[in-house]
Amino acid sequence: MKIVVLVKHVPDAQFDRHITGPGNTTDRDESILSELDEYALEAALQLAEERGGTKAGNEVIALSMGPSGAVNALKKSLQIGAYSGVHLSDDALAGSDAAATSLALAATIRHLSADGRPVDLVLTGMASTDGETSLIPAQLAERLSLPQLTFASSLEVNGRTVVARRDAGAHSETVEAQLPALVSVTDQINEPRYPNFKGILAAKKKKIASLSLADIGVDPSQVGQAGSWTVVESAAARPPRTAGTIITDEGDAGIKLVDFLAAQKLL
């Protein structure tokens, strides 16, 4: 199986994050591999390992689109266990919205299929931890005419049939489709492995291919702000919430809480 996993470098959510510049884009100085992508990577590695790994012709390719820093997300992915990395990078990509991003990623996946071994499965996390639109899986599937199985909390591939379970609000569903397909996974699907010493050493020998827009046959006008269908017109830091009244319970805090709720007309 040839599996492509989308990985994104995102600002670390442990710290304050900022929107900067004329395009109102996210500052990526302190970026890491998006935590939610690790679940997709783990799912890909398990599928490949069940099938005999690299010796049996399985491939797990980590794909990241983004400026030079995105290489760090790929390096981390290789340390965790991805077999190779692909970095799509081009100045013209800056400021791409979900539609333009999905166009570039779709072209990259077609490019990766052009060696005669088509991509069987595209795996993604449920959302990035920065933009959080969760649009990319659906838009990429639409552009590649793939069935999409999103928010998978379990995943099996039997022959050419992919089966996933997902929780959709008031009900749980089992969904299935034929490969090739796109699957996004939640943080319930597995326990991602940590890179160990062996993995870190092995990663040094693995390849990261660099691709530009010219390599994937995309015109710069199709991506970036020029190719985007939405524009962020303004961004303002929300005034920090200020602490209100803090009391220490002296045996009547529950009653004071109800007084507060009544005063706020929340009862």
Among 25, 72, 89, 134, the residue binding other proteins under the rule CB under 8 A is: 134
Of the pair 4, 141, the CB lying nearest other proteins is at: 141
Contact by Cβ (8 Å): 57, 83:
no
- Residues in 19-48 at the binding interface with other proteins, rule: CB under 8 A: 19, 24, 26, 36
* Count of positions on this chain that bind other proteins (CB under 8 A): 86
Please, what is the minimum distance in Å from the beta carbon of residue 86 to other proteins? Answer: 22
Contact by Cβ (8 Å): 267, 260:
no
- Residues in 191-250 at the binding interface with other proteins, rule: CB under 8 A: 228-238, 240-241, 243-249
Residue 166 gets the label, from left (phi > 0), alpha (psi -120 to 50) or beta, of: beta
Contact by Cβ (8 Å): 63, 105:
yes
CB atoms within 10 A of CB 30: 14
Q: Which of 150, 129, 158, 100 is nearest to 32 (CA)?
A: 129
Please, what is the minimum distance in Å from the beta carbon of residue 90 to other proteins? Answer: 21
Of the pair 58, 148, the CB lying nearest other proteins is at: 148
Q: Does 148 bind other proteins (CB under 8 A)?
A: yes
Of the pair 24, 89, the CB lying nearest other proteins is at: 24
Of the pair 15, 197, the CB lying nearest other proteins is at: 15
Q: Does 176 bind other proteins (CB under 8 A)?
A: yes
Please name the residue ranges forming H helices in 90-196.
Answer: 98-113, 136-143
Beta-strand relationship, 161-168 and 171-178: antiparallel
Contact by Cβ (8 Å): 192, 38:
yes
Q: Does 138 bind other proteins (CB under 8 A)?
A: yes
Please, what is the minimum distance in Å from the beta carbon of residue 152 to other proteins? Answer: 10
- Stretch binding other proteins (CB under 8 A), from 54-62, 196-204, 216-224, 251-259: 251-259
Among 31, 77, 102, 108, the residue binding other proteins under the rule CB under 8 A is: 102
Q: Give phi and psi for 142, each to the nearest 5.
A: -65, -45
